[in-house]
A and B are shown apart, each in its own frame.
Chain A
Amino acid sequence: MGIMNKLFGWLKGKKKEANVLCVGLDNSGKTTIINYLKPNDAQQVDIVPTVGFNVEKVTMTNLSFTVFDMSGQGRYRVLWSHYYKETQGVIFVVDSADKLRMAVAKDELDQLLKHQTIMNKRIPILFFANMDVQNSLSAVKCSQLLGLENIKEKPWHICASNAKTGEGLSDGMHWLSDQLQTVK
């Protein structure tokens, strides 16, 4: 099957495409993660807080993602729900050093999961427990605090990451691309 797919893709001369939504609270590192996934020459040095959203194209070995990098600031979070319809996967970024706002992240995640369009779709959700400082929470602790064990309907995966060094990012993205291919 995989060989056929690859062959098919190669014959078509075009990779499969998927729309992915990248959400999370402000200052959790969404833009930094997307920036790291871009080819080296297209990477930015300074990351500024996103206003509204950015659309980025990220190519993996066998998939081409169109990532909607949403702004995480409180006043822009209402925009997230407008893109739920087209999305085939969700990346949810959590700042694992921000223990105080874990409750806010959980609240936003619950709202996302309860949203009509997301609830009815079986889309994969990838969590990045993002950290750049010492004494941050582990991925297991993060999944506990977010109540991930209650997500029964959808495939999900959490991995600890470091957006600045790129640690753990490729693991997560590989999981997501595998999921997107099996879902289709």
Chain B
Amino acid sequence: NNNWLNAYYDPVAGIYTFPSCIALADLNSDGDNKLVIADLGSGLYKMTLKVFQGTSVVQENALLDLPTGIVSVYMDNMEPRTPGIVVASGSCLFVYKNMRPYYKYPLPLLPVNEAEKSLWNAVRNGDVVADALTAALSSLKDEIYASALTSQTLRFLQLESRDEAEAFIESHKNVGLKRETVVTCLATMKKSVAEEDAISCLVAGTEHKEIQIIDSEAFTQLKSYNLPSIPVFINVSGLYDVDFRLFVACRDGKIYALKKDSTEYRVCIELGSQVVGMERIHKHMVVATMDKAVSCYTTKGKKLWSLELPANIVCTGIMDQKAKGFKALMVGLDNNEIRIYKDKNLVDTLTLNDRPQAICYGRYGREDSTLVSVTSSGALNVHILKRTAEYSEQSGNQGQLNPQKTKLNIPKKTQLFVDQTVREREHGTEMFQSFQHDLQLIRLQAAKTYIHGLNSSITPISDDPDIPLKLNATVQGIGPVFQMMVTVENTASSTASDPKLVSDLKMMFKFSDKVYTATPRIFSLPPLVPGIPYRFPIRIECIATDQPAQDTVTAVVFTRSKPKPIVTANISMPVSEGVVVV
């Protein structure tokens, strides 16, 4: 790639992380930005918070639970301006300052279900034994959602043997019941000033369908919202003290908008698929979904455009070059590509050795335009944008054309066109009425013909449900002797028990005696088995010798018991050649 310098590649970095767990921050306020990655370890243990400086890890802190998001946030006005790193992990927010543990903020506890509480109280008093407790708790779990129970209860219900259950009760019966929530996503919002290093507050989404805004100075809850589903991504705009708006993508595939003034939510966007990433570019929301699509919406929820990508989207990021005023969307794809889209134009593609799992663009070290990516194999890539790299609207020629820019080939306005337009404008009503009148007449005529056809059975398909027949004929030869192939088919759907044979049928031909003779003119049809076309060859000879003859032959199928023919086919004969006299 011509625009990116491959600054660093470590294929064995062994990092397992997600876009929400990567941050670039000036941790020591020395102008040398560090890379902070919350590593999920194996997914079960060895979770660490890693700090990279340049090409090496300078610090590692163990994490107790799986990290779900990290943000760097300025928490005070002290000089030098050092940001704190907030790690959302389990039910707590862990704050690190100067890369040392600084504060632990547990999210407020949720009320415990009364029935559950009384059950455990009974256990403490020795009134209930393990089996009874299991039965009572599992019926309680069926009654209300599992998420409304405490983790202690849920853990207890997972125990298999009775011994284990008893041991669990013994060790837990004196521990107070706590219902904790889990942070699912984390974002920041500037408090009162929009400056880069101004104090921010934290916005956290929880497993219990809540959004909480937390003051980062005093660690108190400022505001909370309830949502109908569990938040996955939060997008913040505005200032807490002035006015703000939150866009929250939830697990139900909808994006909700929240405002400062009200605690009510508004459904902003309903997506057809699950959200993979949500970014805000200028005034629009760009949403990447699992159906390989990137769509752009206004904040009112109106769809502006949508793109289909060639592979599944894995992660998204924002490329914001503040010096150049360039803001674009970065999408990590399943086919190892990172694509950069300015609006809906593809401006650049970067191909990695593996599937990018997490991407982050920003200032790293002393370089403003750095792209850090972690692949699914755990490799760490650092790409630096070249100083000479230019991205403009025009450079996206590989992308789709803007529909507004395609010119339609509209012909020039002629005098005739103008006259017609004027006529149509003046006599619009009359023209419409006469058109409707004619249309009705056509319909009437068609209906009349159809009724006549039905009444006289001149259609080649029978309308009698008992004798469903289909008749067609083809004429072969050039004359004066023709071969007519007549095909009769019984179209009834048969079953083994009821074959629905049609028998006792006869076929007859009707024509002008002066023009044709036919052999045989009348014959009996064999019993017709449904689904099998029966073909009968008929010899027809043209006997009119004086002029080139052309007439119609009518084939009629009838039965003795009915006066009306069952099916009729009109076969227009081709022009016959004269008899060659040798």
List chain A positions with a Cβ less than 8 A from chain B.
Answer: 25-27, 74-75, 77, 97-104, 106-108, 111
A-B contact pairs, 7 of them (CB 8 A): A25-B366, A74-B367, A97-B54, A99-B54, A103-B5, A103-B6, A104-B384
- Chain B residue nearest to A99 (CB atoms) is B55
Instruction: Verify B54–A104 contact, CB threshold 8 A.
Output: no
| Bound-complex Cα distance A99 to B382 (A) | 12
Complex formed: what's the CA distance from A77 to B365 in Å?
18
User: Roughly how many angstroms separate A35 CA and B9 CA in the complex, as a whole number?
Assistant: 36
Which partner residue on chain A sits nearest B32 by CB separation?
A27
Residue from A97, A104, A111 within 8 A of B7 (CB atoms): A104
| Complex Cα–Cα for A99 and B386 (A) | 16
Bound form: Cα–Cα A104–B364 in Å: 13
What residues on B are CB-neighbors of A98 within 8 Å? 54, 365-366
Is the beta-carbon distance between A101 and B386 smaller than 8 angstroms? no
Contacts of A107 in B (CB 8 A): 5, 386-387
Contact A104 B368 (CB under 8 A): no
Q: Please determine whether A99 and B8 come into contact, CB atoms closer than 8 angstroms.
A: yes
The answer on a CB contact under 8 Å between A77 and B366 is: no
- The reply to whether B387 and A74 form a contact with Cβ atoms under 8 Å apart is yes
* A108 nearest CB across to chain B (Å): 7
Given contacts A27-B366, A74-B387, A111-B388, is CB(A101)–CB(B323) below 8 Å?
no
| Residue among B6, B366, B388 making CB contact with A101, cutoff 8 Å | B366
Q: Would you call B7 and A101 a contact (CB within 8 A)?
A: yes
**What is B's interface to A at a CB cutoff of 8 Å?**
5-8, 54-55, 323, 364-368, 382, 384, 386-388
Return A93 CB to nearest CB of chain B, in Å.
14
Interface of chain A, helix or strand or loop or mixed? helix
Bound complex: CA of A26 vs CA of B7, how far in Å?
16
Return chain A residues, CB-CB under 8 Å to B54.
Answer: 97-100
Beta-carbon nearest neighbor of A97 in chain B: B54
Q: How far does the alpha carbon of A107 sit from the alpha carbon of B4 in the complex, in Å?
A: 10
B residues near A97, Cβ cutoff 8 Å: 54
**Bound Cα distance from A27 to B368, whole angstroms:** 14
Most chain A Cβ neighbours within 10 Å, of B8, B365, B366, B368: B366
B382: chain A residues within 8 A (beta carbon)? 100
In the complex the two chains form, what is the Cα distance from A107 to B369 in whole Å?
15
Contact indicator B388/A100 (Cβ below 8 Å): no
> How many Å from the CB of A5 to the closest CB on chain B?
41
Given the complex of chains A and B, what is the CA–CA distance between A56 and B6 in angstroms?
A: 35
Q: How far is the CA of A97 from the CA of B5 in the complex (A)?
A: 18
What separation, in Å, do the CA atoms of A68 and B190 have in the docked complex? 43
State in angstroms the CA–CA spacing of A106 and B7 once bound together: 10
A25 and B366 CA atoms in complex are apart in Å by 10
A106 CB contacts on chain B under 8 angstroms: 5
Cα distance, A104 to B368, chains bound together (Å)? 12
Q: Is the interface of B mostly helix, strand, loop or mixed?
A: strand
Give the interface centre of A25, A74, A75, A97 by most chain B CB atoms within 10 Å.
A74
CB-CB nearest in chain B for A25: B366
A77: B residues at CB distance < 8 A: 387
User: With A107-B5, A107-B386 in contact, is A101–B368 under 8 Å at CB?
Assistant: no
Residues of B within 8 A of A100 (CB): 7-8, 54-55, 364-365, 367, 382, 384
B26 to chain A: closest CB distance in Å? 14
Contacts of A103 in B (CB 8 A): 5-8, 384
Find the residue from B8, B54, B382, B387 having the highest chain A CB count within 10 A. Answer: B387
Q: What's the nearest-Cβ distance from chain B to residue A79, in Å?
A: 12
Residues of B close to A74: CB separation below 8 A? 367-368, 387
Which chain A residues lie closer than 8 Å to B388 at the CB level?
111
Contact between chains at A75 and B323 (CB < 8 Å):
yes
Q: How far is the CA of A74 from the CA of B321 in the complex (A)?
A: 13
Q: Which residue of A lies closest to B384 (CB)?
A: A104
Most buried by A among B6, B367, B386: B367
Q: A100-B7, A101-B366, A104-B367 are in contact. List 12 more A-B contacts (CB 8 A).
A: A74-B367, A74-B387, A97-B54, A98-B54, A100-B54, A100-B365, A100-B384, A103-B5, A103-B7, A103-B8, A104-B7, A106-B5
B387 engages A101 (CB within 8 Å): no
Among the interface residues A26, A100, A104, which one has the most CB atoms of the partner chain B within 10 A?
A100
- Once bound together, how far apart are the Cα atoms of A107 and B367, in whole Å? 14
Known contacts A26-B366, A75-B323: does B55 contact A104 (CB below 8 Å)?
Answer: no
Q: Which of A26, A75, A101 contacts B384 (CB 8 A)?
A: A101
Looking at the assembled complex, report how far the CB atom of A30 sits from the nearest CB atom of chain B, in whole angstroms: 14
B8–A104 contact, CB under 8 A? no
Q: Which residue on chain B has the smallest CB distance to residue A111?
A: B388
User: What is the bound-complex CA distance between A26 and B365, given in angstroms?
Assistant: 11
In the complex, A108 Cα to B6 Cα: how many Å? 14
B440 to chain A, nearest CB (A): 76
Cβ–Cβ < 8 Å partners of A27 in chain B: 366
The answer to whether A104 touches B5, judged by C-beta atoms less than 8 angstroms apart, is yes
The minimal Cβ–Cβ distance linking B514 to chain A, given in whole angstroms, is: 99
Scoring A99, A104, A107 by chain B CB atoms within 10 A of each residue's CB, the highest score goes to: A104
Query: What distance in Å separates the Cβ of A98 from its nearest Cβ neighbour in chain B?
Result: 7
Chain B residues near A104: list those with CB within 8 A.
5, 7, 367, 384, 387
Closest B residue, CB atoms, query A106: B5
How far apart are B15's CB and chain A's nearest CB, in angstroms?
17
Residues of A within 8 A of B8 (CB): 99-100, 103
Report the minimum CB–CB distance from B59 to chain A (whole Å): 16
Question: What residue in chain B is nearest A49 (Cβ atoms)?
Answer: B31
The interface residues of chain A lying within 8 Å CB-to-CB of B368 are: 74
Q: Which residue of chain A lies nearest to B7 when distances are taken between CB atoms in the complex?
A: A103
Give, as a whole number of angstroms, the nearest-CB distance from A96 to chain B.
12
How far does the alpha carbon of A163 sit from the alpha carbon of B539 in the complex, in Å? 113
Look across to chain A and name the residue whose beta carbon is closest to the beta carbon of B31: A27
**Nearest Cβ in chain B — how far from A134, in angstroms?**
12
CA distance A102 to B54 in the complex (A): 11
A28 to chain B, nearest CB (A): 10
Q: Closest residue of chain A to B383, judged by CB?
A: A103
B391 to chain A, nearest CB (A): 16
CA A98 to CA B55, docked complex, whole Å: 9
Residues in B whose Cβ lies below 8 Å from that of A108: 387
Rounded to whole angstroms, the CA-CA distance of A74 and B363 in the bound complex is 13
A175–B365 CA distance with the chains assembled, in angstroms: 33
